[in-house]
Copies of this chain bind each other. A is one copy, B any other.
Amino acid sequence: MNKTRVEAVSDGIFAIAITLLVLTISEPDDYSHLASQLAHRWPSLAAYVVSFAIIGIMWFNHHSVFGYLERVDGGLFYLNLLLLMTIAFLPYPTGVLGKALLAGEGARTAAVVYSVTMAINALAWGAMWIYASSNRRLLTSSFPESQRRTATLAFTLGAVVYALSIGVAFINAYACLAFHGALAVYYAFDPISRRANRRPEASPT
């Protein structure tokens, strides 16, 4: 497996999934009251923005994680494929959640489905990291041993927090959407990617 080509296809799936999200926003069905029709669709737009942020930030972190890898093997390819499936699938629960909130029916169910998708995504991240990092199987030699344990802890914790989001979904669908938005923002500032960002070799001219 050529690492560059795996990154290129991953980038492609991130880019397509993030752009396809626009098709999930509920379309107006009555143009004679367009303003109120569109105003009522704000949950659909909110779900769009949250999923867009999630995919965008995950893409950033995917980039960082692959920056720590020396090479890619078949096992990592398939764990990465599983991860990409949860991202490519995200437009479905996003559309369902937006439409359930608009309909005022089934919002709790929709939020649970959204959270379960994200929890599986978090498990895929964790599985990919543990596969790549245990015994330093695929890590670059420059990746510090101390940071390896911190990252493993962070991915484990991530899986737990996303599992918790399923509980939040049972309480309230809006709270659940806000929770996922807040988590996305947290991951935009998380230490692992910030450190990756600062590494001089990751910023070629």
Contacts and interface: CB of A to CB of B under 8 A. Distances in A.
Contact of A194 (B74, B81, B88): B74
Contacts of A151: none
Given A27-B95, A100-B31, A20 B20 contact: yes
A139 to B, nearest CB: 12
Contact of A22 (B12, B88, B105, B106): B88
A86 to B, nearest CB: 10
Contacts of A19: 13, 16-17, 20, 88
Contacts of A88: 18-19, 21-22, 52
Interface residue SS majority, chain A: helix
A197 B74 contact: yes
Copies of this chain per assembly: 4
A5 B63 contact: yes
Interface string A1-38: 11111011101111111111111010110011111011
Rank and list the top 3 A-B pairs by shortest CB-CB distance, nearest first: A34-B106, A12-B15, A16-B19
Interface of A: 1-5, 7-9, 11-23, 25, 27-28, 31-35, 37-38, 48-49, 52-53, 56, 59-60, 63, 70-74, 77-78, 81, 84-85, 88-89, 91-92, 95-96, 99-100, 103, 105-106, 109-110, 113, 188, 193-194, 197, 202-205
Given A53-B81, A70-B205, 17 more contacts: A5-B7, A5-B11, A8-B11, A11-B12, A13-B15, A16-B20, A22-B92, A23-B91, A28-B99, A31-B105, A31-B106, A33-B106, A34-B100, A60-B74, A71-B203, A71-B205, A74-B197
